[in-house]
Amino acid sequence: MLSTVSLAVLAQLKQFTLDDLIPGGTTYSSLQPTSLNVTWWGNQLLKPEEKVCSLRNKKGEWQTLFTLEELHAAMEQAGWKTSLIRSLTSARFDQSEEPVACFRSAKYVLLYNWKDRKIIGGQQFDTAVTDADYQWSQQRLAYNSSENLFIANIGSTNNVLQVSRNGSHDLVYGQSVHRNEFGITKGTYWSPDGSLLCFYRMDQSMVPDYPLIDISTRIATVAPTKYPMAGEASHRVSVGVFNVNTQQTVWLQTGDNLDQYFTGITWSPDSRKIFLYQLNRDQNHLRLWQFDATTGAREQQLYEEKHEKYVEPEGGVNFLPWDADKLIYKSEKDGFNHLYLYSIKEGRTLKQLTDQRVGVVLQLLGFNKATRSLIISATGTEALRHNLFRVPIDKGEPKLLGAAEGVHNARLSADGSMLIDTWSSPSVPRQVDLIHTANGCVETLHQSDNPWKEYDVPSITSGTIKAADGTTDLYYRLIKPTHFDPNKKYPAVIYVYGGPHARLVLGSWNYMARGWELYMAQLGYVVFVLDNRGSDERGRDFENVTFRQLGTEEMRDQMKGVDFLRSLPYVDANRLGVHGWSYGGFMTTNLMLTHNDVFKCGVAGGPVIDWSYYEVMYGERYMDTPQSNPEGYRNNNLTLRAADLKGRLLIIFGYNDPVCVPQHTLSFIRACETAGTHPDLLTYPGAEHNMVGKDRVHLHEHITRYFEDHLKPLTSK
Phi and psi at residue 687, in whole multiples of 5°? Answer: -85, 155
| H or E element in which residue 558 lies | helix 552-567
pLDDT given at position 715:
54
**CATH architecture type of domain 4-27+452-710:** 3-Layer(aba) Sandwich (3.40)
Tens of pLDDT, residues 519-549: 999 999 999 999 999 999 999 999 999 999 9
Mean pLDDT of all residues belonging to the chain:
96
β-pair type (92-93, 100-104): antiparallel
Q: What is the mean pLDDT of residues 34-48?
A: 97
Which listed residue (657, 664, 700, 710) is catalytic? Answer: 657
582 part of the active site: yes
Q: What confidence tier does 96 reach under pLDDT thresholds 50, 70, 90?
A: confident
pLDDT given at position 717:
38
Choose among 50, 180, 45, 158: nearest CA to 110.
Answer: 158
Choose among 253, 330, 370, 696: nearest CA to 515.
Answer: 696
Contact 496, 587 (CB under 8 A): yes
Contact 448, 35 (CB under 8 A): yes
**CA dist., res. 487 & res. 2, Å (int):** 14
**CA dist., res. 336 & res. 232, Å (int):** 32
Neighbouring CB atoms inside 10 A of 245's CB total 7
689 part of the active site: yes
**DSSP 3-state of 593:** helix
pLDDT given at position 714:
73
Tens of pLDDT, residues 681-708: 999 999 999 999 999 999 999 999 999 9
131 part of the active site: no
Q: What confidence tier does 10 reach under pLDDT thresholds 50, 70, 90?
A: low
**CA dist., res. 675 & res. 638, Å (int):** 12
Tens of pLDDT, residues 616-632: 999 999 999 999 999 99
Give residue 101's region: left, alpha or beta (phi > 0; psi -120 to 50). beta
Choose among 290, 685, 647, 302: nearest CA to 491.
Answer: 647
Cα 22 → chain centroid:
19
Could you state, in order of their start, the residue ranges of all structural domains in the chain? Answer: 4-27+452-710, 37-126, 129-316
Is pLDDT above 70 for 180? yes
Phi and psi at residue 587, in whole multiples of 5°? Answer: -65, -40
- Through-space distance between the first and last CA atoms of the chain, rounded to whole angstroms: 33
CA angle 66, 69, 72 (to 5 degrees): 105
**DSSP 3-state of 73:** helix
pLDDT given at position 4:
47
**CA dist., res. 530 & res. 496, Å (int):** 7
Q: What is the mean pLDDT of residues 313-329?
A: 97
Q: What is the mean pLDDT of residues 586-602?
A: 98
Q: What is the mean pLDDT of residues 105-125?
A: 95
- The CATH fold assigned to 129-316 is Methanol Dehydrogenase; Chain A (2.140.10)
Contact 365, 410 (CB under 8 A): yes
Contact 363, 316 (CB under 8 A): no
Which listed residue (307, 446, 689, 698) is catalytic? Answer: 689
Q: What confidence tier does 602 reach under pLDDT thresholds 50, 70, 90?
A: very high
Which listed residue (164, 377, 582, 612) is catalytic? Answer: 582
Cα 588 → chain centroid:
22
Is pLDDT above 70 for 78? yes
| DSSP characters over 180-203 | G-TT---SEEE-TTSSEEEEEEEE
pLDDT given at position 156:
63
What pTM did the predictor assign? 0.95
Computed over its alpha carbons, how large is the radius of gyration of the chain? 27
Taking every pair of Cα atoms in the chain, the longest distance, rounded to a whole number of angstroms, is 82
**CA dist., res. 151 & res. 189, Å (int):** 12
Contact 501, 557 (CB under 8 A): no
